[in-house]
Amino acid sequence: MVYFLMKWVLIGPVLKLFFRPRIVEGAEYIPAEGGVILASNHLAVSDSFFLPLTISRKVTFPAKIEYFTGKGVKGWIKKTFMSGVGQVPIDRSSASAAQAALDTGVRLLREGKLLGIYPEGTRSPDGRLYKGKVGVAWMALEAGVPVIPVAMFGTDKANPIGSKMWRPYPIRIKVGKPLDFSRYEGLSGDRFVLRSVTDEIMYALMELSGQEYVDIYATKAKEDLAAAERPKVPGQQATRADRLPETKAG
């Protein structure tokens, strides 16, 4: 109830007024029911607001557990909001916690949910498309569901990295044809299959979004950027990060 209240009464009308989000291509590819993964590029925090706003079905996104563990009134408000709009907390602090998060995704898909996933794992630091993590492939094969690529446009202009206030900007969304991976049924434990499936998803996203593709993880790109911006002290020995070879992200 809170999800639809937010979408249709409290937040949705305001976002529609200032940003006019709409699907400009491929809306017919999103099924009316059944478990499906929406695999989207990730340009800004606002992606998770605008995508559900344009789709009639409820979209569930895994969200980092920190959104649900804050203290005081502010923490309670954030937890209540995230839970109310259907977000599921995930803990990525260890391998076992990450696996539990993937298991939760599979459970939701088997229940017929529409699951939103960002294969890059984090926001792009510079607007380019980065290497996808194989968790999306594992969930698709384990649950036996199709993956629908989704490209977001304009969210990084409306909600630039580091900004506290959103800026009015038209948001556009393209939805690609569903990707069927049933040919890999029973092979979710094969890491080469998982990499192949993930790369196919990322290729579809690259074609749909028109973004330049960078074959490293976005988290690595962010680390390289942070290392490059770190002030150097004269005479200080270079750190391992400083000695890394220059990458496309650098």
Helices (H) and strands (E) in the chain, counts: 10, 10
**Is residue 56 included in any domain, yes or no?**
no
Question: Is there a single domain that holds both residue 27 and residue 150?
Answer: yes
Distance in angstroms (rounded) separating the CA atoms of residues 181 and 137: 9
- Average confidence (pLDDT) per 10 residues, the chain, 250 residues: 66 84 95 97 90 90 76 74 68 74 92 95 94 96 98 94 87 97 96 98 98 94 83 55 34
Question: Is there a single domain that holds both residue 155 and residue 140?
Answer: yes
**Is residue 14 included in any domain, yes or no?**
no
**pLDDT score for 48:** 85
Question: Is there a single domain that holds both residue 180 and residue 228?
Answer: no
Question: Is there a single domain that holds both residue 225 and residue 187?
Answer: no
**Is residue 144 included in any domain, yes or no?**
yes
How many domains is the chain partitioned into structurally? 2
Question: Is there a single domain that holds both residue 248 and residue 136?
Answer: no
**Is residue 72 included in any domain, yes or no?**
no
Question: Is there a single domain that holds both residue 36 and residue 125?
Answer: yes
Question: Is there a single domain that holds both residue 111 and residue 234?
Answer: no
Q: What value, to the nearest 5°, has the Cα angle with vertex 42 and ends 38 and 48?
A: 65
**Is residue 97 included in any domain, yes or no?**
yes
Classify residue 179 by its DSSP letter.
Answer: B
CA distances from 12 to 19, 41, 122 (A): 10, 21, 24
Question: Is there a single domain that holds both residue 245 and residue 151?
Answer: no
Residue 31: how many other CB atoms lie within 10 Å: 13
Distance in angstroms (rounded) separating the CA atoms of residues 142 and 9: 37
Question: Is there a single domain that holds both residue 105 and residue 127?
Answer: yes
**Is residue 85 included in any domain, yes or no?**
no
Q: Return the amino acid letter for 161.
A: I
Question: Is there a single domain that holds both residue 159 and residue 248?
Answer: no
**pLDDT score for 225:** 82
**pLDDT score for 3:** 67
Show the domain range for 250.
220-250
Task: Report the candidate in 87, 149, 155 with the shortest Cα–Cα distance to residue 118.
Answer: 149
Residue 151: how many other CB atoms lie within 10 Å: 24
**Is residue 104 included in any domain, yes or no?**
yes
Question: Is there a single domain that holds both residue 177 and residue 234?
Answer: no
**pLDDT score for 1:** 64
Question: Is there a single domain that holds both residue 162 and residue 38?
Answer: yes
- Contact (Cβ atoms closer than 8 angstroms) between residue 79 and residue 70: yes
**pLDDT score for 232:** 65
Distance in angstroms (rounded) separating the CA atoms of residues 11 and 50: 11
DSSP element (H, E) containing 88: strand 88-90
**pLDDT score for 153:** 97
- Contact (Cβ atoms closer than 8 angstroms) between residue 150 and residue 247: no
In a 10 Å sphere around its CB, with 0-12 CB exposed, 13-18 middle and 19+ buried, how is residue 67 labelled?
Answer: middle
**Is residue 10 included in any domain, yes or no?**
no
Q: Residue 2 corresponds to which tokens in the numbers above?
A: 């809170």
Q: Specify the pTM.
A: 0.83
